Amino acid sequence: MTTNAQQLRDAFRKVSQSVVIVRTKRVEVAPSSGEPMAVVDGLGSGVLVSNDGKVLTAAHVVETADVALVEFPDGQQITAHVIGSDVRSDVALLQLTQMPKGIAPAIIGDSDKVEVGDQIFVIGAPFGIGQTLTAGHLSGRHRLNSTQNAPGVEFLQTDAAINTGNSGGPMFDMEGKVVGIVSTMMSHSGGSEGLAFATAGNTAKRLLLDRRAFWSGVDGFVVTGGLAKALNLPQPSGFLVQRIGDGSIGSRLGVNPGTLRATIQGLDILLGGDVILSVNGINIVAPNAADSFGSVSTADENYETIYNSIATLKPGDSLVVTVFREGKVVKLTTTIDR
C-alpha cells in the first residue's frame, strides 16, 4: 500500500464516525392548484464539530426545513434544529437535541493553510449512500473581495467527486481536519464532472461559531424593475418571500410565505407571500448588473449589513421587519430570545 493510500485510509477511519446524513422535511404549496399541501423530503450531509452537539451543514439543505433528523454511521438517529444559517456563504449550524453516544466530533482546521494542489478528501452521502469517500485535490480558491461591511467569503474548488446528497458534508485535509463544507457542484450532465465547491472552514467558523448565529428561515429572492412595479412595491426593490422554515426568526415574526405558483419569464415562483422591504430600518437593495464572481456586489454588502444588524442584537432586543402585504406596508416585530 502506498504512503498516500495508507494516510487516506487512516484519516478516514479517524473521522468517519463524525460525518452524518441530514434528512429534512418541509411543507409547501402543492404543484397543482386544488391539491393539498405537499411534504417535501430533503437530503444532505453534515459533520459533528463540538462536544455539545453542533453540526455544520450547507444552508440550502436546511434553510426552510420544518423538521431535521441527523443520522450517524452507527445507526443513531437524533432530531436537530437549525440555530444558525448564512445563505451567502451557504453554511448552516444544527443543534442536536442530545449528544450521540461514543462519537467524537471532528476538528476544524485552518483552511488558510491548505494550498492549491494539496490532497483532500470528502465524506458524505451522495444519493443517500452514507459514508462515501471521494478523494481529490484542492483545485482553486475563490474569495469574494471584502469590504468594511462585507468580510471575505471564501470557496474552495475541488476535483473530488461530488453528487446530490454530498451538500453539507465535510472536506478534510490529509490530517483529518475539516477545511471546508461542501456547497455545490457545476455540471452539465447532473452528475459529478470534477468541478465542485466547498465553503472554506475558516469562513464557516467565523460566521457561525465565532459569533452569535441565527436562523432567518426565509427563502426568496430580490425583485426589482418590472416585477417590482407589477407587485406595486412602494420602493425600487424588495425580497419576495417564497418559503419560511418552522421555528425560525421569520416564522416567529409572522412573515407570510408564497401561496400561489406562477411562471414569470420562464421562472417558477410563488406569489401571494410578503415582500420584505427593510430589516431594522435597512432597505433591501437590488444587485448591480455589473457585479461578477470575485467582487462584492451591492446586494452582498446589503445582505452583510442586514445580517450583522441582526447578529449584534442581544436577548430581549427587538427585531423589526417591514413587509409589503396585500397592498399595505406592515411592520412585524419579534424579540430576540437568546
Q: Which residues are catalytic?
A: 60, 90, 167
CA 33 to chain centre: 30
C-alpha separations of 47 from 62, 123, 314 in Å: 14, 9, 28
Amino acid at 172: F
Can you tell me the distance from the alpha carbon of 127 to that of 111, in angstroms, rounded to the nearest whole number? 27
The residues pairing with 263 across neighbouring beta strands, listed in sequence order, are: 268
Q: Kindly state the DSSP code that residue 209 receives in the 8-state scheme.
A: I
Look at residues 250, 230, 232 and name the one whose alpha carbon lies nearest to residue 242: 250
Query: Which are the contacts of 320, defined by CB distance < 8 A and separation ≥ 6?
Result: 279, 280, 281, 331, 332, 333
Query: Which are the contacts of 137, defined by CB distance < 8 A and separation ≥ 6?
Result: 116, 117, 118, 119, 120, 158, 159, 160
- Please say whether the beta carbons of 88 and 303 come within 8 A: yes
Can you tell me the distance from the alpha carbon of 198 to that of 150, in angstroms, rounded to the nearest whole number? 19
Hey, is 302 helix, strand or coil? Answer: helix
Query: Which are the contacts of 112, defined by CB distance < 8 A and separation ≥ 6?
Result: 200, 202
Can you tell me the distance from the alpha carbon of 162 to that of 140, in angstroms, rounded to the nearest whole number? 16
The residues pairing with 41 across neighbouring beta strands, listed in sequence order, are: 25
